[in-house]
Each structure stands twice: as C-alpha cells, then as structure tokens.
Amino acid sequence: MSYQQNNYSPNTQFTVFPPAIKHLIIVNAIFFVGLTTPHVGNFLYKFGALWPLGSGYFMPWQLVSYLFLHGGIGHIFFNLFALWMFGQAIENLWGTKRFTVYYFITGIGAGLIQLLIESGAPTIGASGAVFGILLAFGMMFPDRPILLLFFPFPIKAKYFVAIFGGLQLLNGISSTSSNVAYFAHLGGMIFGFVLIQYWKYKGELY
C-alpha cells in the first residue's frame, strides 16, 4: 500500500501502545477518577456529559468532553480495551495524527446523531468513537480473523463489524428505554465510513 500525500507520515515502527491510544487511556482514567470523586464528579457530569438540546444544560464542548466520562468500571474497561484491541493496528497503519483526527470526528459525529435522535438522559462514554475505530478495523483489515470468547470459531473482521452494526440498529429501533446509546454507536460507524471514503476519494488511502 502507499499513501500519496506528502504531509502523511505514518508510524515507521509497530508499537503495542502507540501514542494516541496511550494518552487516550491515561486521560480517560484521570477523568474516571474525577467522576467518582464527590463534588468533582458532580461538576464533571453537569458540564461534561452530553445533555439533550432541550435540557437547558447543553454546551458545544460536550460533544468532546462526553467521550472522556464513563459510568462505571465495566463501562470504561470495555471501551478502553476495545480501543486498544482494535485501535493499535489502525494507529500503527495511519499514524498518530490521522488516527487522532478520525477518533474525534467519529466521536463528535456519534454525539451529533445521538442529539438528533434521542432526547432523554445525557450521554457519556467513548463508545461512539470506539465503534468508529471498529468500523475502520473492519475496512482496513477485512479478512483478519477475530476470536471472541462467546463465539466457537474465529470470524472475519468485516463480518464482525457488519453483525455489530446491524445489532446496534436493531437494538436502537426496538429499545424504547435503555441506558445504552445505540444510535451514538451507529453514528460513530457512519461518520467513520464517510471519512474513510473521503480519504479514499482524495487518494490518501490505498
């Protein structure tokens, strides 16, 4: 493969914890500690969560800040584990700058979709951006096998992504009340797909 743009500079050496992922994990961990601290947590939730447009609490920066807030150990663990599991290959392939741009665009896009479709509780968590990373993994490494604990045999990444995307759509349509932001997950995948197609059109992806 070749990236034809002169300003593109991918990582030249594979690393298990590339810079963007390492710093995202650290910042998320710091915010998680803050969110579980009395008074500090209330402040972070009030001003950092992504509040619905009609709530009176929405602020534009929440489209970024909500990505760093998580509601519990399980929530943050699975998001950051998936970020590391699928994101390291993408960052090593694209380089840190492009990966970081992609992460935040998909996260912001996920938040926008959530705002347009849902009007209930505020949204927190990096899931939208993580699903964008998952989509990128499936597009960049479509035939790479993924072994799941709850699945008896490996499944190709492209099928894994398609199944997960379909489940998010189905759950989003069928769930009348849920603490899971299914449409944010879909939003991250949609924005990720559009961005990758744009880069391909510009000749910046092989």
Q: Which of 140, 132, 118, 122 is nearest to 189 (CA)?
A: 132
Q: What percent of the chain has pLDDT over 90?
A: 65
Out of 2, 55, 119, 185, pick the active-site residue: 185
Mean pLDDT, range 21-44, rounded to an integer: 95
Express each pLDDT in 75-118 by its tens digit: 999 999 999 999 999 999 999 999 999 999 999 999 999 999 87
- What is the reported pLDDT for 37? 92
Residue ranges of domains in the chain? 19-201
CB count within 10 Å of CB 179 equals: 10
Q: Is 127 annotated in the active site?
A: yes
Q: Which of 146, 145, 131, 143 is nearest to 193 (CA)?
A: 131
- What is the reported pLDDT for 4? 38
DSSP secondary structure letter of residue 123: B
Mean pLDDT of the chain: 87
More confident residue, 43 or 166: 43
User: Does the structure show a pLDDT above 70 at 159?
Assistant: yes
User: Does the structure show a pLDDT above 80 at 156?
Assistant: yes
Out of 127, 174, 175, 177, pick the active-site residue: 127
Which residue type is seen at 36? T
- What is the reported pLDDT for 124? 95
User: Does the structure show a pLDDT above 70 at 7?
Assistant: no
Express each pLDDT in 172-184 by its tens digit: 666 645 567 778 8
Write out the DSSP string of 22-87: HHHHHHHHHHHHHHTSTTHHHHHHHHHSB--GGGS---TTHHHHGGG--SSHHHHHHHHHHHHHHH
pTM recorded for the entire structure = 0.88
User: Does the structure show a pLDDT above 70 at 12?
Assistant: no
Mean pLDDT, range 2-17, rounded to an integer: 53
Q: Which of 148, 149, 168, 169 is nearest to 157 (CA)?
A: 148
Dist. CA 16–CA 206, nearest whole Å? 23
Q: CATH homologous superfamily of domain 19-201?
A: Rhomboid-like (1.20.1540.10)
- What is the reported pLDDT for 149? 65
